[in-house]
């Protein structure tokens, strides 16, 4: 019996930290544009590499909190694929459902860090996704997949119908939201926990609304519980009865990469521990606050002892009903 099985693509990420004091690039926040001087050299302050992808990040993070996790993911038979599988195993994530594809490549991303925010250049390798026979688990976390994700989603829904005791958490990836939105909406009635950021929520609902309105719309679409993250504005949630708000912890942010996955992991870790919805928001915030102080989506992930320490230090910041 696993506590959590994650389903999604894994990536090998290269982080490039761009110099902020150089005139080779500039930022237009209103238009959401990161601009480079054409045919010019852009200085890099630092670089780092790590395993990434929502499914891998959450599997590792929840395992670090003391729970049994496994991952369903497809890798190429290249060096990046070997590195990802080895690192997952080193973190004690079960890799028995990791599928290696012969003569294929592994997904990878180039992550540009500038002024604390990240811009991701993502390579989607071709896939014909298959869902293996799943062992017993308490929760399934379904997340970012590329083209042809529809087949695996249909099989997942059938599995949930046959095993109603399994809880489902989802965080759709950018491809699923941008290219397969109607398909993603089909799984919402089977979803116990939907975790998205504000921009993703607006794309799913098709409207720019207040946090409360977005939560209400997503609940009407079928999701039983919803968590909505909004960067420095904190996180909002709805448990089917009450709306909640959780402010962020004030920390020295270096990079936002992995913050959402860290929040999700902390939240799921609390739920698996039998904690209340508001406590889960605190766990998520604490885990995310640690990750954004490091480069890489898994570098700052906390174990249970570290998580308790950070929450005690920020005991005055709690989630509340709004």
Q: Work out the average pLDDT over 204-220.
A: 96
Q: Give me the mean pLDDT over the 168-196 stretch.
A: 96
Residue with tokens 């889960």: 280
Task: Please tell me the predicted confidence (pLDDT) of residue 115.
Answer: 79
pLDDT for the residue 49: 87
Beta-sheet pairing, 167-170 with 11-18: unpaired
Flag whether pLDDT at 116 surpasses 80.
Answer: no
Residues in the chain, total: 322
Whether pLDDT at 21 is above 90: no
* Tokens standing for residue 252: 């020295």
Categorize the per-residue pLDDT at 31 as very low, low, confident or very high, splitting at 50, 70 and 90: low
Q: Identify the CATH number of the domain defined by range 2-10+52-106+128-321.
A: 3.40.1190.20
* pTM for this model (two decimals): 0.92
* 117: confidence class by pLDDT, cuts 50, 70, 90: confident
User: Residues 40-61: what's their mean pLDDT?
Assistant: 91
Does 217 have pLDDT greater than 90? yes
pLDDT at 23: 76
How far are the Cα atoms of 28, 147, 175, 187 from residue 120, in angstroms, in the given order? 16, 18, 13, 27
Mean pLDDT of the residues in the chain: 93
């Amino acid at each position: 019996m696993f506590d959590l099985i994650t389903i999604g693509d894994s990536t090998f990420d290269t982080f490039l930290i761009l110099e902020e004091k150089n005139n080779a690039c500039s930022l237009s926040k209103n238009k959401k544009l990161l601009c480079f001087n054409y045919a010019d050299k852009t200085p890099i302050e630092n670089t780092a590499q790590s395993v990434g992808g929502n499914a891998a990040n959450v599997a590792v993070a929840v395992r670090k909190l003391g729970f049994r996790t496994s991952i369903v993911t497809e890798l190429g038979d290249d060096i990046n694929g070997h590195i990802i599988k080895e690192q997952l195993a080193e973190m004690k994530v079960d890799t028995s459902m990791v599928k290696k594809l012969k003569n294929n490549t592994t997904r990878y991303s180039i992550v540009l860090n500038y002024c604390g925010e990240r811009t991701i250049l993502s390579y989607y390798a071709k896939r014909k996704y298959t869902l293996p026979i799943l062992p017993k688990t308490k929760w399934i976390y379904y997340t970012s997949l590329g083209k042809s994700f529809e087949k695996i989603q249909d099989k997942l829904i059938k599995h949930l119908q046959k095993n109603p005791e399994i809880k489902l958490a989802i965080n759709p990836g950018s491809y699923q939201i941008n290219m397969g939105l109607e398909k993603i909406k089909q799984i919402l009635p089977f979803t116990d926990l939907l975790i998205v950021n504000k921009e993703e929520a607006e794309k799913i609902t098709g409207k720019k609304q207040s946090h409360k309105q977005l939560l209400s719309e997503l609940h009407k679409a079928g999701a039983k519980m919803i968590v909505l993250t909004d960067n420095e504005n904190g996180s909002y949630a709805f448990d089917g009865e009450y709306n909640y708000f959780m402010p962020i912890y004030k920390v020295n942010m270096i990079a936002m990469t992995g913050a959402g996955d860290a929040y999700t992991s902390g939240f799921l870790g609390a739920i698996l521990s039998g904690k209340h919805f508001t406590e889960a928001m605190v766990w998520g915030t604490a885990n995310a606050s640690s990750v954004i102080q490091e480069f890489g989506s898994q570098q700052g992930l906390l174990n249970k002892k570290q998580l308790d320490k950070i929450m005690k230090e920020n005991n005055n910041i709690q989630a509340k009903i709004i």
